[in-house]
Amino acid sequence: MKVTAAVFEAVGRDMTIEELELEDPKAGEVLVRLVASGVCHSDFHVVKGEWEAKGPLVLGHEGAGVVEKIGPGVSTVEVGDHVVLSWVPYCGHCSYCRSGRPALCPQVQETAYANVMADGTSRLSRNGETVYSYLTTGSFADRVVVPASGAVPIRKDAPLDKVALIGCAVATGVGAVTKTANVRPGDSVLIIGCGGVGLSAVMGAALVSAGEIIAVDLSDESLERAKSLGATSTINPGHESVPDRVRAIVGNDGVDWAFEVIGLKPTLEMAYELTRPGGTTVVVGQSADGVTIEIAPMLMSDREKSLIGSNYGSCHPALDFPRLVDLYMRGKLDLDQLISRHATIHDINDAFAAMGARQAGRTIITY
């Protein structure tokens, strides 16, 4: 089958729009016709060379569409189902999967992080040459073959160009607050970084009735979006001191929960500094390769301050994606506020240029 896709070859080169060959799904796999794909900062890490990835590669990992074919042994979806893609192709039977933590499944490391399917190969090719599929998803293409666990069926009345964001940004941000941290009503929350994941974390904090919800970003437009989604205070580090303002809002001890959603050394360390004794800093942002932080262990033990990580919002896609879709459809999550623009696959390089220029909001590629 011929598909149209954006192909990444190497750092410093624009992606090219090409016609590729897509094999039919094999056992345990699903063919999905994509309707929409979000442009996420994790893809941008590859484009900028901050994460190493072998080309040629079809990027994209945040998508939604309609099932067109299923491979042998697939029972979780049917042809015609509407699905949100998940970049966590978990096995379902290891200790992590059985405990409800599929993002930690070894199969994710072996397949998604290597951009291959379970058999170690790709379903995409170009004139006989292998083309890899980013995180076994490759949603910058109009059709994809993904593992069955990577296609989560949802209700058919949900707009696919909006709920595509649940496949990464929304699940990661909302889940970090509601599942990884289990923030309680009235807790004070600091969220550093108001991209798609950070704004989703703001929505998650509002959803659980957190107390002070403080959003930090260099973009005033992003901060306005954070306010509309439930932030009680906003801070632009370009205009004022974040530590001074946070302490003025919640007191010198700091916040109960600090979520760092950028992945930078200075903001990671600042988040920990502004976490109160007995509180917790949650690392949500994905750092460039080689980034390390300096934390005084005495503060951990003496002040009982915790530092934890959150991958994919600790979500279980098969269970949590339909719930998040329902929350959107009931007006409890405003996904529309995360989107700034719709574009076609031919605009993909412009979408990354907008991300590099720190323009607020997600670009949604529609097919």
Residue with tokens 């605009």: 347
Active site residue 45: yes
Distance between first and last Cα of the chain: 17
Asked if 32 and 151 touch (Cβ cutoff 8 Å), the reply is yes
Reduce the DSSP state of residue 322 to 3 states and report it.
helix
Of 42, 149, 233, 310, which is the active-site residue?
42
Of 45, 287, 310, 315, which is the active-site residue?
45
**Token pair listed for 12:** 């410093």
Active site residue 61: yes
CA–CA separation, 296 vs 282, rounded Å? 16
Indicate the angle between helix axes 242-250 and 265-273, nearest 10 degrees.
Answer: 30
Q: Each residue of 234-258: b (16+ CB within 10 Å) or e?
A: bbbbeeeebeebbeeebeeebbbbb
Residues 6+ apart with CB under 8 A from 357: none
Residues 6+ apart with CB under 8 A from 110: none
Active site residue 315: no
Asked if 321 and 298 touch (Cβ cutoff 8 Å), the reply is no
Of 41, 61, 82, 316, which is the active-site residue?
61
Of 40, 97, 105, 194, which is the active-site residue?
40
Query: Which one-letter amino acid corresponds to residue 109?
Result: Q
Of 91, 97, 105, 168, which is the active-site residue?
168
Backbone angles phi, psi at 182, to 5 degrees: 55, 55
CA–CA separation, 285 vs 87, rounded Å? 17
* Nearest Cα to Cα of residue 26 among 137, 121, 114, 134: 121
Q: Where are the alpha helices (DSSP H) in the chain?
A: 41-48, 95-98, 106-110, 160-163, 169-175, 196-207, 220-229, 242-250, 265-273, 297-302, 317-329, 348-356
Catalytic residues: 40, 42, 45, 61, 168
